[in-house]
Amino acid sequence: MKNQWLSLFIGSVRVKVQGRGAERFINACLRNGITVWDVKKHSEDITTFFILLKDIPNVRAVVRNSECKLYFIGKNGFPFFLKKMVSNIGFMVGISLFFIMVFLLSNMVWNIQIKGAKPETEYRIMKELQRMGVEKGAFQFLIDDPETIQRKLTNRVETITWVGVELKGTTFYFQVVEKKQPKETKRIGVQHLVAKKKAVITDMFVEEGQPVISVHDHVKKGQILVSGIIGKEGQTKLVPARGKIFGETWYKSTVVLPLQASFHVLTGKYVEKHYITIKNILIPVWGFKKPPFSHYKIDQQKKALRFWRWELPIFYERVIYRETEEVTRNYSWEEALQKAKEIARKELKAKLEEDASIKGEKVLHEAKENGKVRVEMHYQVIENIAIPQPIVQGD
Amino acid sequence: MVKKWRQRMRSWLTNKLELPADIVMDLPRITMIGQIHIYIENHRGLLTFSDKELRLLLKQGQLLVRGEQFVIKTILPEEILLQGKINQVIYIDE
């Protein structure tokens, strides 16, 4: 039995045989290997049936040897459809253009909404977004994903604490939480200021309260610096003592640094590859070469393509191969010492408050052991040593 | 004489060895589905065809199918599938 689908695919024609001996004609066809189906006899000398498109040259020979006349009365199947399509090329181009347009437009950013920001912050965010390429008419698969935008925005715009980035369809929603610039002063209760740690007072700046120490005094931890009790004996009043008391404090820190270390660093060279992913099948679109690096790191970005309002199971994937290099760092004794000091200083700075300053440093001890440098440092630091201590009333 | 002897030999073989008769003896195999389809294998060509009658040549004799609204759905050198309303299937010996 022949396959109906096959005939549809390779094309068939309906023919009309006119004349006596249609049966003989069909027999002759069969003998010549021509497939014939759907034979109908309409009257004494008119018979119609189907033959395959590819058998037409063979049929001509059969017709010549018979006393019948052959007419082609219908055509169907894919080749004819193709022919029709070619003649209606404008229409086809229109349809495909329409789909391409819808597809492209559904993958664009059409609206950016920023909520919860002051006008100037909003303007700055807009500027930053523009720098990142997020603007009206940008393709969604070419810009960063919302998480990255969120991270970049929070890093670059310092007046915002947090920004929520959401991509809904073709609209970007930004929910901004701004830093409250002037902090509201809390109502504070009556308090003393006491020393945070052992120090020598270098400078005092008292806003309220009765200072009980003076410059160059040596104070212990917990000692009252500024009293919250003011006034003469018998006429005392309790106030919240406020102010800054700067004192010289001392810190000790130890840093151990290996003389030799190896790292993987990016060289800055990279190769990009672009793929369209359908389920698990990767179709390369751009970048077919193997990355010419011996060591590399792979960065992958995957984005779903959309059509109209649906997310297609098709992804646009960008793979970036970044070349890495193994670098061995070798320090000489002096360099290592220098570096260790730097690290120690940095670590200390991170621990200290902003208004603190390092006054002096001294190397207490330096040693080389097992290919490592061990440095003990001593720092003199000027910092605010005052911390509040509430006065418990009713005593 | 030889032909008749051979015929009998074949008939005996199919009986004893339980071989399919249509293959050994070159007989037509006819399958009918109700009245609407008739499928004939092992024919030797089309003799006449109209919408009321189909006449097929067999190895021995002819087969006549009568009915209404006949359409040959498929025809191959040894097979034919006829569609329509089948009323009679007649063997004609020559």
Question: What tens digit of pLDDT does each residue of A214-225 get?
Answer: 888 888 988 888
Specify the pLDDT at position B84: 93
User: CB B72 to CB A47 under 8 A?
Assistant: no
Q: What angle do CA B39, B40, B42 make, to 5 degrees?
A: 150
Measure the CA–CA gap between A172 and A133, rounded to whole angstroms: 13
Confidence band for A181, pLDDT divided at 50, 70 and 90: low
Residue appearing with tokens 């003076």: A214
Averaged pLDDT of chain A: 85
**Does residue A112 contact residue A44 with C-beta atoms inside 8 Å?**
no
Specify the pLDDT at position A1: 45
Instruction: Give B78 to chain A, closest Cα distance, Å.
Output: 9
Measure the CA–CA gap between B27 and B17, rounded to whole angstroms: 17
Specify the pLDDT at position B19: 77
First-to-final CA distance of chain A? 110
Most distant CA atoms of chain A, gap in Å:
143
- What average pLDDT does range A25-49 have in this prediction? 90
- What average pLDDT does range A4-11 have in this prediction? 81
Measure the CA–CA gap between A243 and B34, rounded to whole angstroms: 110
User: Mutation test of the interface with chain B: which of A27, A46, A49, choosing the one with the most B Cβ atoms within 10 A?
Assistant: A27
Instruction: Give A8 to chain B, closest Cα distance, Å.
Output: 15
User: Mutation test of the interface with chain B: which of A17, A23, A29, A44, choosing the one with the most B Cβ atoms within 10 A?
Assistant: A23
Q: Which residues in chain B are contacts of A26 at CB distance < 8 A?
A: 46, 49, 75
Q: Which residues in chain A are contacts of B42 at CB distance < 8 A?
A: none
In the chain, the amino acid numbered A192 is: H
User: Mutation test of the interface with chain A: which of B39, B44, B50, choosing the one with the most A Cβ atoms within 10 A?
Assistant: B50
Question: What tens digit of pLDDT does each residue of A217-263 get?
Answer: 888 988 888 888 888 777 788 888 888 889 999 988 888 888 888 88
Confidence band for A185, pLDDT divided at 50, 70 and 90: low
Measure the CA–CA gap between B58 and B61, rounded to whole angstroms: 5
User: Which CA distances in Å does A347 have to A341, A359, A380?
Assistant: 10, 16, 14
Question: What tens digit of pLDDT does each residue of A123-147 get?
Answer: 888 888 888 888 888 888 888 888 8
ipTM, interface predicted TM-score of the complex: 0.80
Instruction: Give A11 to chain B, closest Cα distance, Å.
Output: 17
Specify the pLDDT at position A128: 87
User: Mutation test of the interface with chain A: which of B38, B40, B43, B46, choosing the one with the most A Cβ atoms within 10 A?
Assistant: B46
Specify the pLDDT at position A150: 87
Q: Which residues in chain A are contacts of B46 at CB distance < 8 A?
A: 23-24, 26-27
A2 close contact with B: CB closer than 8 A:
yes
Question: What tens digit of pLDDT does each residue of B42-89 get?
Answer: 998 899 998 899 999 998 889 999 999 999 998 888 899 999 999 999
A6 close contact with B: CB closer than 8 A:
no
**Does residue B30 contact residue B38 with C-beta atoms inside 8 Å?**
yes
For residue A17, with 0-12 CB atoms within 10 Å meaning exposed, 13-18 middle and 19 or more buried, which class applies? buried
Q: Which comes out higher in pLDDT, residue A189 or A356?
A: A356
Question: What tens digit of pLDDT does each residue of A147-165 get?
Answer: 888 888 888 888 888 888 8
User: Which CA distances in Å does A386 have to A222, A245, A256, B2?
Assistant: 9, 6, 32, 133
User: CB A30 to CB B47 under 8 A?
Assistant: no
Specify the pLDDT at position B30: 93
Question: What tens digit of pLDDT does each residue of A333-351 get?
Answer: 888 888 888 888 888 888 8
Specify the pLDDT at position A98: 93
Q: Can you name the residues that pair with A252 across neighbouring β-strands?
A: A378
In chain A, what are the domains?
4-82 (3.30.2130.10), 111-178 (3.10.20.310), 186-259+331-395 (no CATH), 261-328 (no CATH)
Specify the pLDDT at position B93: 84
Q: Which residues in chain A are contacts of B39 at CB distance < 8 A?
A: none
Question: Above pLDDT 70, what percent of chain A?
Answer: 96
A35 close contact with B: CB closer than 8 A:
yes
Count Cα neighbours of A122 within 13 Å in the Cβ-side half-sphere.
Answer: 11
- Reading the block at residue A388, the tokens are 């509040």
Q: Which residues in chain A are contacts of B51 at CB distance < 8 A?
A: 40-42
**Does residue A206 contact residue A243 with C-beta atoms inside 8 Å?**
yes
Specify the pLDDT at position A49: 92
Question: What tens digit of pLDDT does each residue of A308-327 get?
Answer: 777 788 888 888 888 888 88
- The CATH classification number of B22-92 equals 2.60.40.2000
Q: Domain map of chain B by residue range? A: 22-92
> Does residue A119 surpass a pLDDT of 50?
yes
> Does residue A121 surpass a pLDDT of 50?
yes
> Does residue A15 surpass a pLDDT of 60?
yes
Specify the pLDDT at position B82: 93
